Amino acid sequence: MGARGAPSRRRPAGRRLRYLPAGSFPFLLLLLLLCIQLGGGQKKKENLLAEKVEQLMEWSSRRSIFRMNGDKFRKFIKAPPRNYSMIVMFTALQPQRQCSVCRQANEEYQILANSWRYSSAFCNKLFFSMVDYDEGTDVFQQLNMNSAPTFMHFPPKGRPKRADTFDLQRIGFAAEQLAKWIADRTDVHCIVFAMTSGQMWNHIRGPPYAHKNPHNGQVSYIHGSSQAQFVAESHIILVLNAAITMGMVLLNEAATSKGDVGKRRIICLVGLGLVVFFFSFLLSIFRSKYHGYPYSDLDFE
C-alpha cells in the first residue's frame, strides 16, 4: 500500500532531454556532418599542397627552371592551394619565332635561377618556371599576352598585381635587376644571386673551357670581357694565387728563421721573384679584362 502511494522517480537524463526543443536532433546531426566534411576537406587540401610542393622540389633538383604547358600551369600556378611564389618567364624560344631578345633574356634568367638553386637560402618557397608560346599557347591567350619575353610573379595567395609584372622595357632583363625585383615581390629575403667567380661561376653560368678562333685556330684561355670568364681562366687564376701565396710564405720564412744567412738570402730572393713575377702576370690578366686600367708591373702583353 505504501509502495502504491510512493511518487515515481524519473532518471536525470530524462529531465535534461525534456528541455531540448523539438526538431533539434536533425540540426545537431547536420552540424556534426558539416564539421566532419570541413575537417576532411582541410586534410585533402593539405595533402594536395604537399604533393604539389614535393613535385616542384623534384623538378628543381633536376633543373633550376622547369617548363610548363597549359595543364601544368593551371595545376601548379593558377589553382589553389599554394604557399609558394612562382616566377614565370613567358617566352618564344623556337627558332622559327626569331626572337633574339628571348634568347638573351633566357640566358640571364638561367643565371638567376641557377644562383638561387646553388645558394644556401634555397627552399620550397620560391620556384622558377617557363612557358614557351609553342608549348602553352592557351596560357598566353588566357592571360591576354601578346608579347615576349615577359616575367611575372605569382604570389602564394591571391592574383598577381600590376607590380608582379617585371617592367622589362624600362629596367632591362639583367640577372641582377631581376633578382632585385624578386626580392621586392617575395618574402624570400636571403637570396644570394651574386656568385660570379671561381667554381660557383662555372656552376651557374656554364662557360666553355676555352675559346678557339674559327678563323685562325688560335685558342684563348682568358676571356676578353670583365663580365665573363672561361673554365681554364679559373684554373689559371687559382695557380697564380697559389704561387703568390708560396712567395709570401718564403719571404716570411727568410725573415723569421734563424738559419744560415746565405740560405735565408736565397729563400728571400726566390720568394720575392715568385711574388713579383706571378703578381705581374695576374695584373696583366686584369688589365686585359678591364680595358683602360692604368697600372702595371712587368709587361706580359
Q: Is the pLDDT of residue 171 over 90?
A: no
Q: What are phi and psi of 223, to 5 degrees?
A: -70, 140
pLDDT tens sequence across 198-249: 445 555 555 566 666 666 677 777 766 655 667 777 788 888 889 999 989 9
148 Cβ contact partners less than 8 Å away, ≥ 6 residues apart? 90, 91, 92, 99, 102, 133
CA atoms within 13 A on the CB side of 230: 16
Is it true that the peptide bond before 81 is cis, omega within 30 degrees of 0? yes
Domain boundaries, the chain: 58-187, 192-289
Q: What is the pLDDT of residues 48-93, one digit of tens each?
A: 899 999 999 999 888 889 999 999 999 999 988 889 999 999 999 9
Read off the C-alpha cell for 76: 601548379
Going 134 to 146 to 173 to 187, the CA torsion angle's sign is negative
Contacts of 265 (CB under 8 A, 6+ apart): 254
pTM: 0.55
The CATH H-level superfamily of 58-187 is Glutaredoxin (3.40.30.10)
pLDDT tens for 107-141 read: 889 888 888 887 777 888 999 999 999 999 999 99
For residues 105 and 172, is the Cβ–Cβ distance under 8 A?
Answer: no
